[in-house]
Structure formats: C-alpha cells, structure tokens
Amino acid sequence: MTDNKDDKTLSVAGKKTLSLKPSGVTQGTVRQDMGRGRTKAVVVETKKTRGLTRHKDERPVAPVSAAPVARPAEPRPVQPHPAGRPAPQPQPHQPRAEQNRPRIGVVLNDLSAGEMEARRRALAEAQVRDAEEAKRRVEEEARRRVEEEARLAREKEEAARRAAEEAVRPAAVEAERVEETVEAERPVVAERRTEVRPQPVRPAPSTPPQTPAAAPAALRGRRGNEEEEERPRGGAGPVRGKVTRPEPAKPAPRAKGDEGRRQGKLTLTAAVDEDGSQRGRSLSAMRRRQEKFRRSQMQETREKISREVVLPETITIQELSQRMSERAVDVIKFLMKEGQMMKPGDLIDADLAELIAGEFGHTVKRVSESDVEEGIFNVADMEETMVSRPPIVTIMGHVDHGKTSLLDAIRHANVVAGEAGGITQHIGAYQVEQNGQKITFIDTPGHAAFTAMRARGAQATDIAVLVVAADDSVMPQTIESINHAKAANVPIIVAINKIDKPTANPQKVRTELLQHEVFVESMGGEVLDVEVSAKNQTNLDKLLEAILLQAEILDLKANPNRTAEGTVVEAELDRGRGAVATILVQKGTLTPGQIIVAGDQWGRVRALVNDKGEHVKEAGPSMPVEVLGLSGTPAAGDKFAVVENESRAREISEYRQRLAREKMVARQSGSRGSLEQMMSQLQASGLKEFPLVIKGDVQGSIEAIAGALDKLGTDEVRARIVHSGAGGITESDISLAEASNAAIIGFNVRANKQARDAAERSGIEIRYYNIIYDLVDDVKAAMSGLLSPERRETFLGNAEILEVFNITKVGKVAGCRVTEGKVERGVGVRLVRDNVVIHEGKLKTLKRFKDEVSEVQSGQECGMAFENYEDIRAGDTIECFRVEHITRTL
C-alpha cells in the first residue's frame, strides 16, 4: 500500500481507467476481507524495477520466492458476494504487464508464466484439501451419529432392565416412558447436528477463474504470512479451508439492520435463537424433566409404609401429615370427603387424628401432654427402706383464739409481736424437739380471707391441732377448720386455750364440738383434748405428749435415701436473696445443688435455711426449710420434686406455665357455649370494673387478698386484678397501672424511689396496707362509689282539676282541689287521665288565690301550671311526688 494521500486514481465509479505511472510502479485493486462478510477495495502497488537494477544476480530468486508465498492468499477475494467485482481487474493488469515487458526484459515474461502456473497448482491443491476436509467431516459426523444411537440403545436397555427388576410398573407405562424419552432427546440431537454441520458446505472449487491473474507479489506475501500465523490457531484443518470458507450464512443476521456486532461468546442457545426472543430448554433441563417424570411414575406404585404415629391431645393437620409422612393436601381431601372444610393449620382432637391415621394405614399411640410429669411424683418405696419420721402438725382455729401464741410458747419465741395487728397473715413452719423427738408445726391464719391457706395446711399435715378459746367457744373459722381436717382425713387434737381467763368454760366448748361431729375422749369419743394456757404455759407438755402419742399410733415412716419431694408452704420475692420458697420435705432428702421443679418454676438449690435462720447441708423428711435458687416464686401449695437434669425441669416448667396461661385466657374470655351463656355475657357487658394492681410480700397473702376481693363483686361492679405478684412495687407496675387506669395496692411492701416518682408524674395512687381487713374495707368503699345511686320515690298527695283557665302571658292554669296529702312547688308531678299517665314533669307555679305558696294542704284549692305542657282538662288528676337518690353500698 502507499501512504500518498494525494493519489486520486483509485476509484471504481467513473470513466477513468487504471494506468501505469511513469515511475514504473505497478498498481492493482483487490478486495480486502474485513471479516463477518464485509470487504473493501484497496490499491496494491508493486515496484519491480528498483530491486532488479540494484541486484541483477538475484533477479531470478526474488520473483520465485515471492510467488509461492503470495499465491495461496489470492482465493480470499473470491467470495460469493463480491464475485462480480474482481472480473474487470485482469484488464488493467495485462496492459501494465505488457508495457513493463520491454523495460524489464524476457525474465519478467518467464516469471509471470511461472507465477500463473504456481498459482494454478496451489489452487488445485487447495481444492483437494477442501475435498478431503469435507470427507473427513462427513465421516466424523457419521461416527458421532452412530455413537449417539448406541448411547440411546444402551439407555433403552438400561431402562428395560430396571423395569424388569422392579416388576411393578405395567408394560404399557414403561413403553410410553421410553418412547417419550427418545422423542424428547431426538430434537436435542438434531439441534446439535444442525449446529455443527454448516462448515462442510464451502463452494471453493468454482472460484479460480474469477480471481485476478496478476496479483501483486507483496500483497500475496503479506496474506501468506497472516495465514501462516492463523494456521496453529485453527487447529482443525489447513489454511485454505479457512480461505474458502462459505459466507452465505453470515448475511442472515445482518438482515435485521439495527443489530450491531455480536458481543460475547457464541453459545448453542444463542445460535439456535436467531431473533433473541426466547430462551431454549437446555439438555440438563430436559434430563431433569425426564427424571421428574420417572420419579412420579415410580411414586404412583410405591409400597405403603405403616408407621406408628404419636398423637397428643390436640394436633394440627400439618403436624399430623408430617408424622404420617403424607401430604397435607391428601389429609384435607379426606376431611372434605367427610364433610369438614379445614386448613393445614387447624387444630383437631386426638379422636379425629386417630381416625385419619387409621384411614391412611398407620397405627396410633396416644399420649397426653401431662406425660412429661410422669415419674416425678408418687414413686413407690420399698418397706425395708422406710424409717420413722417426725409428725407434721398444723395449728388451726378461729382468729384471735391464740394459735400463734400457743406455738410461740412451745417454741419459746415471740412471733406474734412480728405480725401486723397481732394476727397471723402468713403460714409459718417450725420444728421443735420434745424428749429427743422432733415435731414440725405449721401455723395457719385464722380469719376468713385465708381459707385456702388453711386448706393447704390440712393437706400437708399428719395431725391437726384445733385451737378453741375457752371463753369464745366454737366460731365460724373453727367449723371451717374442722371441715378441712375431715376432708384431708387428718386426725384432730383439740386444744382448749385461754383456760386462765375467768370467763373460760371448757365444757361448753366440748358440748358445742359435738354438733360438728367432733367427739372428745371425755365425751366418749376418740379425739384427744387438752386444756392449755399459752399465756401461762400451762399443760404444754401434755399437748406435746398427745401429739407424739397420736404420731405413734399413725406409725409415720418415710424413705430418706431417695430424691426429695414435698409441698411449697409459702413463697416470696426477697430483694437480697431473690425468689425464696418455704417448703416442707415429705419424702427423701434435699441437698444443695439438686435441680427441683416447684409448680411452674424450676431452679438449682443454692442454699437451705432452717426456721432458725441457719444454713443446713440437707433437709430430711418432715423438715421445713427455705430454698434459694428458684427461677421465680411458685404458688403456695404447689408440689415440688427433684428431677435428674435441667432439660427435664425446663420441659415440665414450660408445660405448667402453658397450662396456667390457658386457664387465665379462659377465665378472662369466658367460655363460648349455649345461648343462655351468651345472654348472660351480654348482661354482664354493662358491668363496671374496679381495676387493681396488687403487690404483696408473699404469694399466700396475695392469693388471700384476691379471694377476698373476688367475693365483693356483684352484678353491677366487681374488682378486676390486672396484675398481682410477690415483691416490691416497681416502675413496670406503675406503667401497667397507668395503661389500665388502675390503683396500686401494696401489702407489706413499699415502692422504690423510681416507682414513687413515676406514680407522682402519672397521678397513680399507691396505697399501703399491713392488715388485710383494712385493705378489704377500703376497696369495698371505693367499689361502692361505682354503684349507681338508688332512686327512691316518696308520694306526697293528689289534686283534682276542677276547671282550666287560660291566662295571658302565663298559659293554661288548672284550678284544683287537693284531695289527698299535700302539694309542693318544685317537686315531680304526673298528669293522670282515665287512670293513664299522660305527662310527667314538674310544677311551674303554685298559687293560692293570688299569692305564690310553697305547699297546699289537703282540702284546699289552688292554681297549678306545668312546665312546658298545657294539655290539661277538667276532671284530670294531678299526682305529686318527691324523688330521692340514695347512695348504695356493697
């Protein structure tokens, strides 16, 4: 090529002809292949005389070396689409060759003929190579086709062998599956063949006559070098295979016009999808589809597996289907056939679940959620492992009959001084020793609010000591204590206290006890009775001897060498020690470090403290101790037991907490049942509530307060306990009270500074009490204020209308005579006509003659006018009455 930009002779259009320049430079035009079917006409100049004049000895060598190298590159311009353009090119070359001959000599004529011969020879060799390459490709494709058919045959044989081994699918289904497999894979093979086949179709042999006869040697040499470089990269065949590559397939993508150069790597999917509108399915996707179809065919005939399904009390359909390894859709279909429309998340009972499992061919094992508690209570002990244990004695009786004082005298302590108001409001557990034998005492409150405490005391005891004051005889709580003891099947010992008082009458006590089926020994019964005086400590030893005698009769025994279990007597939340539970060990021995479950709480025992405040290393049967280390405060009366590990304890605790939540929800929402219950709920919707947040020192006191307040409720108003718990009043309690508009009651507890400040900001009232009677009375008075006042009507008198006067600026005025009682101005009146009340209102004016009066007595005449009512007639009766609103109390 030349870099001379002023040369304007290179042109296809126009009438100018190509000619040699005086410099002896030979010019020619060739079509340069730009790739992807594009060509461009370029001018090639070859200077022949310069090299010959300087090196005459090398003239024969130069053309020969250039010709063989350059000639293989000539077939490139001979493409199908620019085939017509090179035809006029030989015309300019031949004249130039003739013009140059006289100047170059005979040698150039011989070289041109040799060039042409070498070129023909090279083209012939290229044609032979192309034919061989095409033949080789056809053979390779045939071999690949044979291999593919062999592979399909092997797959058919493998599928047939599997079908024979399984012997469960029908032959028709297997044949259909094999046929679909072949049909599904055949398009994929055809696509693959179509994609690989385009190269063999190359129309190279027809091109030699159309190529220029005298191509410039320099151009041929350059193209020959480029093809030599491209040869190792192709790797599939000779360079001339690439030179004669057919191009008709390439213009097709260019027909879209707006599509530019193809970007990225050419893939099988992109080649098949010419317009790029959709993606094809890959071979892997086809195989997955076939495998899925094959699995679905196998599932239809798979063998049914019968399983043992564990059924709790309630279970969701989804969970049941998973346990049966069935689809939830199949279970729902079965239920729809049975006439029940249900969703996978719906709960069903164990009976329906058992029916479903039986229908699907599974066996059922029914369990209860309470099974998690199996094996922790009521473990039988061998008789040879039992040893004697101290008796557990409960002191019961009416309030102020001297129960705690009697126990103090026995223990030589002063518990009464520590109780607010001198009355017991907690259960206390103590252990004393008499003549080398230990006795465990449980002191219970006596007043009415602590019924549940007395019931718990009777259940956890061996002997009940019924304390009756000699000067007060049998009282309501005495009778209740007798009933608790009888219900628990506990023997009773009667202690007649306060015999030192002048008004004491022990015989009257014995006589009144007969009315309640308590027969003492002196009255011919079996119940032991002892006359004692706690104040003077009279006959206390006789009382202890009677207790030991009764215990000997009962022959109390327990096994100390087993895991401990017993009863929670009381529980509280101590600021320094956390949750503290007073427990009574009834079986086994409890030691620090063991894991216990008490009610819905669990924990590891950190310390054991006896009734004297001393830390002990173990607690045997019938020993009361305080336990530290629980996760929360259990309810008084809950059973406790030692479990083997934390996971079991946590499982039992969560189960019991869930039961407690369900009971609370059921209690709050009420049960949905009959129409009668719904009507009662509608009537209760007008019920006024008095919300309260109760915090107490121990769980038992809170329970007693809640029970006492619940009894105050009526059909119109009731106390609603928003929250209750053991421990001091905190900020969270204030927030809860503010949200529910409740008052806060603290029983033997106080609020911290942050809680007091929060209550002051929110305007929440906090009331402190230490005697339960005062608390109940105040709440009762506050609830009485919610009651609507009672409307009481008092009859005053009747008056008969004699005549009606129409007075200007006043209206109608009735001239009346008072026939009964009296009539007062400003009170309520009724207008009665033919024994039917026509109007009820108030008197606007009451006159006697011309003067306004406040009242008119019976037998006198007066004038009366009504407020905002004038339809009065002669003969009507006016009834006069007074309305009073009276405040109600609970």
Is residue 695 a known part of a binding site? no
Is residue 24 a known part of a binding site? no
Is residue 471 a known part of a binding site? no
Q: Which of 445, 503, 502 is nearest to 472 (CA)?
A: 503
Q: Cα dihedral angle (531, 532, 533, 539), rounded to 10 degrees?
A: 130
Is residue 484 a known part of a binding site? no
Distance CA 526, CA 530 (A): 13
Burial class (CB in 10 A: 0-12, 13-18, 19+), 888: middle
Tell me, what amino acid is at 588?
A: G
468 alpha carbon, distance to own chain's centre: 58
Classify 559 as helix, strand or coil.
Answer: coil
Is residue 851 a known part of a binding site? no
Is residue 314 a known part of a binding site? no
Q: Cα dihedral angle (702, 707, 708, 712), rounded to 10 degrees?
A: 130
Is residue 841 a known part of a binding site? no
Vertex 586, ends 580 and 589: CA angle to 5°? 75
Tell me, what amino acid is at 125?
A: E
Is residue 275 a known part of a binding site? no
Tell me, what amino acid is at 549?
A: L
Is residue 128 a known part of a binding site? no
Is residue 447 a known part of a binding site? yes
- Parallel, antiparallel, or unpaired for β 743-747 and 601-609? unpaired
**Which two three-digit tokens encode residue 257?**
């016009």
Is residue 232 a known part of a binding site? no
The sign of the dihedral angle between the CA atoms of 452, 457, 459, 460 is positive
Is residue 616 a known part of a binding site? no
- The neighbour count for residue 767, using CB atoms within 10 Å, is 15
Distance CA 78, CA 221 (A): 17
**Contact, 789 vs 867, CB < 8 A?**
no
Is residue 221 a known part of a binding site? no
Q: Cα dihedral angle (523, 527, 531, 534), rounded to 10 degrees?
A: -160
Give the residue carrying structure tokens 């098949």.
272
Is residue 258 a known part of a binding site? no
Is residue 400 a known part of a binding site? yes
Is residue 209 a known part of a binding site? no
Q: Which of 581, 567, 694, 570 is nearest to 631 (CA)?
A: 581
Q: Which residues contact 140 (CB under 8 A, 6 or more apart)?
A: none
Integer Rg of the chain from CA: 58
Is residue 402 a known part of a binding site? yes
Distance CA 432, CA 450 (A): 25
Distance CA 822, CA 881 (A): 10
Half-sphere exposure of 666 (CA within 13 A, CB side): 8
Binding-site positions for GTP read 397-404, 443-447, 497-500
Binding-site positions read 397-404, 443-447, 497-500
